Structure 1
Amino acid sequence: MVPDLIRNVVGIVGNVISFGLFLSPVPTFWRIIKNKDVRDFKADQYLATLLNCMLWVFYGLPIVHPNSILVVTINGIGLVIEAVYLTIFFLFSDKKNKKKMGVVLATEALFMAAVALGVLLDAHTHQRRSLIVGILCVIFGTIMYSSPLTIMSQVVKTKSVEYMPLLLSVVSFLNGLCWTSYALIRFDIFITIPNGLGVLFALMQLILYAIYYRTTPKKPSTTGPHPRSRIRTSSYQPSPPSPRAPASSPLSARTTTSMAAMSPSISRLSHKLA
C-alpha cells in the first residue's frame, strides 16, 4: 500500500516535470515565429517525441497495460503540444525540410496504425500486449532521448550552445530521474530503460553546456541607449566675434557712391557762380 502511494506521488511529480519538459522549447518556437525562419534548428527531436508520446499513450490504455493512467495523461498532453510545435516548424521551414517532415510524419502515422491493429487483433492478453508495446516504447523512447545527439554534435562542431537550450536539458534530466524512480518502485523495465538513458543523455548535454557556454558568441545588446545617444557631443563652442567696424548696409553704400559722383558737378557750379 505504501509503495503504491509513493509511486503515485512520484508519478504526479513526474507529470508536472514532464509538462514542464514539453513546454521548455516554447522560447525556441517563439524565436522561430518572430524570425519567420527555423534557421539551424532541427525537427528531429520533436518528431521522435511525437512518436514516443503516441506509443506511451497506447501502452497506458486499460486494454494494453491497466493502472497506468498517469502515463496516459501526460503523454496525451505531450502529443498535443508536440503537434503544435511541428506545425510551427513546418510553416517556417524551406521546401526541403517540409518534404522531409511530411515523409516522417506519414511514416509514423502508418506505423502506429499497424501497431494498434496488430496488437489488438493478434495479442489477446494484457501481458502479451504490454510486452509487445513495451518493447516498442523502449526502442523509440531510446531514440527520442538520443535524438539530441545530433544537436550535441553540432555544439561540439560549432563550439556554440545557441541551438541547445539549457532549460530543455535541465528539465530532461529531472524528468528522466523522476520517471526512473517511478519505474523502480514497482519495477517496470519498459519505463526504466528509456528514462535511465534519458538521464544519461541529459547529463551529457549539461556537461557540454558547461564546456561550450563561454565560447558561444554573445548577441549584441538591444537594451542599451539609442545609438544616437552614444554619439559624443562636440565640445566645440564658437568664440565671440572680434570687434569690427559696423558693416555698411547696401542702402548706405549706394548713398555714399551717389554723393561721390555728384561732388565734381557741385564744384563746377560753385566755380561759375563765383
Structure 2
Amino acid sequence: MSDVLTALRVLSTITAIIAALSPAPDFWRIYKNRSTGTVSILPVVTMFCNCYMWIMYAHLVNNFLPQFVICTVGMFTSVAFGAFYYHWSNDHRHIHQIYNVAFKVLAVYTLYYALGTSGVTNQSNDHVETTLGILSSVVNLALDASPLETMKEVVQTKDASTIPIILSTSFLVNAAVWVAYAIADNNIFLLVPNAIGMILCTIQVTLYLMYRPKQTSTHMNDKEEVQVVDFRQRPGTRGLYASVDHVDSMDNEHNNNSTDVLPFL
C-alpha cells in the first residue's frame, strides 16, 4: 500500500499543478483580444481561497507533499491570473465585490485557525483539525462548482462558450486522482469534496458536449489583402476611374500599401 500511496502522491501532484495552470489558455485569449470577454474571474478567486485554506490545513496535519507544495503553486498562479484579469477587465466593481467576499471568508478562516491552534477555543487538536477540514472541503466544492456560474445561461442559449472546458476537464481528472489518493490514505476530508467535485465537473463537461460553442464569423487572416475601390472622375475626362487601395489587415489595423488608378469607363 505504501508504494501505491507514493505513486498516487506523485500523480496527484502532477494533476493538481496542471489544474492550477489550466486557466492559462483562456487568459492567453484575453491577452490576444485585449478583453476578458466571457471569461469569469470566479474560478481563479475560488482557486486562491481553496489553496490558501488547504495550505493552512496541510501545515496543521504535517502534509508537506503533496498538499502544501501544490497548493502553494496554485496560490501563485491564481494571484498571477487574477492580476492579469483585473488589468484587462472593464468591470472592476464586480471584481472588487468578489474579492471582498473572498477576503472576509479567508479572514474568518484565519482567525479561527489562530484561535483554535492556540487553545483559545478550548478545543482539542483533533477537533480543530476536523473543523478546518470541513471548512476547506466546502471551499473545495465551491472551486469545482465555479465554472457552473453560467449554467442557466448555457441551457437557455444552448451555447456552452462560457464554460472553461480546459479548466473543467483538468479539474475532473484532478478530482478523480484525489479520490483515489484519499481512499488509499483513508482521509475522509479529501474523499468527500473530491467525490462531489467529480460529479460537478462531469456535469460541466457533459453540458459542454451537449451545447458545443457556436461557430462565430471568421476574422480576416493577419496577411489577408483587401482591395478598397473608389470610383471617381478624372478632371478633364468623361470616363470614370477606379482608385484601388491595397490594404493589409493585421491585428485589425489597416495600412495602405499602394494605390492603383485604373480606367473604368
TM-score normalised by structure 2 residue count: 0.77
**Aligned residue for 2:104?**
107
2:13 corresponds to 1:48 = no
Alpha-carbon shift at residue 27 of structure 1 (Å):
1.3
**Equivalent residues of 1:48, 1:143 under 8 A apart:** yes
2:122 corresponds to 1:121 = no
**Aligned residue for 2:208?**
209
**Equivalent residues of 1:7, 1:185 under 8 A apart:** yes
CA–CA distance in 1 between the matches of 2:57 and 2:132? 6
Alpha-carbon shift at residue 156 of structure 1 (Å):
1.7
What is the identity, as a one-letter code, of the residue corresponding to 1:226? E
Deviations along 1:98-135, whole A, 9 cap, x unmatched? Answer: 33134234324422431321222236754233212111
9-18 or 111-120, which deviates more: 111-120
What is the identity, as a one-letter code, of the residue corresponding to 2:28? W
Moved over 6 A (4+): none
- The number of equivalent residue pairs is 225
2:31 corresponds to 1:36 = no
CA–CA distance in 2 between the matches of 1:8 and 1:141? 23
**Equivalent residues of 2:147, 2:164 under 8 A apart:** no
Deviations along 1:23-51, whole A, 9 cap, x unmatched? Answer: 11111112222333223322122211111
Q: Indicate the structure whose relative CO is greater, using CA pairs within 8 Å and at least 6 residues apart.
A: 1
What is the identity, as a one-letter code, of the residue corresponding to 2:11? V
Gaps of 5+ in 2: 230-265
CA–CA distance in 1 between the matches of 2:132 and 2:159? 38
Alpha-carbon shift at residue 67 of structure 1 (Å):
4.0
Partner residue of 1:22 out of 20, 30, 50: 20
**Equivalent residues of 1:145, 1:194 under 8 A apart:** no
Q: Secondary structure at the match of 1:80?
A: helix
Give the CA RMSD over aligned residues.
2.3
More strand by share: 2
Q: Percent identity?
A: 21
Alignment of 1:154-193 (within 5 A): 154-193=153-192
Gaps of 5+ in 1: 232-274
More helix by share: 1
What is the identity, as a one-letter code, of the residue corresponding to 1:107? K
